[in-house]
Amino acid sequence: MGLDAAQRLVAGERLEGIAKDDAGATDAPAPSPEQLAVHWSERADDIVRLVRAAAPVGATAMLGEHEVEILRARVADAPILAALEPAEAVRVPGGVMVRAADRGVVLEVVRTEDDAVLRGEAIASLLD
C-alpha cells in the first residue's frame, strides 16, 4: 500500500483487498529452547518482551534451584537493590523480583517442572 493508497484511504475511499492464497501459506517454525531461554544479564524490558512473545508456552529460566517457565512478568516499578547480581531473586510484596542487567523483573505467573502454576506470592516458595 503506497502513499497513493494511503491518500485514498484518508479521502474515505474503500479499497479492494486481494484474497490470500492459503495454498501458499506456511506456519512459522516453533522457537527453539535457546530462543525461549531467559538470560538475566539482558535488560529487563527485553526479558519481559521475551516472556510476552513466548506465550502461551512461556520463557524458560532458573529461579533459585528450579527451572520454571515464566508465563507473565513485568518490569519492576521499584529500584532494584544494587547488591544483587543478575539472576538473584528476592521476595517483594506480591511475589518475586529477579535482577536483570538494569532493573528488576517481577514474576507474576510461572509454571514449575511438575506443571504447577504459581502466581504472586506463591512463587516465593521456590526460593526456600
Q: Taking the chain, what is the end-to-end CA distance rounded to the nearest angstrom?
A: 56
> Which 3 state secondary structure label does DSSP give 49?
helix
Per residue in 2-40, pLDDT tens? 568 888 888 888 888 888 888 888 888 889 999 999 999
For the domain bounded by 32-127, which CATH number is listed? Answer: 3.10.25.10
Pairing of strands 89-92, 66-75: unpaired
Mean pLDDT of the chain: 91
What the block records as the C-alpha cell of 106 is 517481577
Question: How do the domains of the chain map onto residue ranges?
Answer: 32-127
Q: What does pTM read for this prediction? A: 0.78
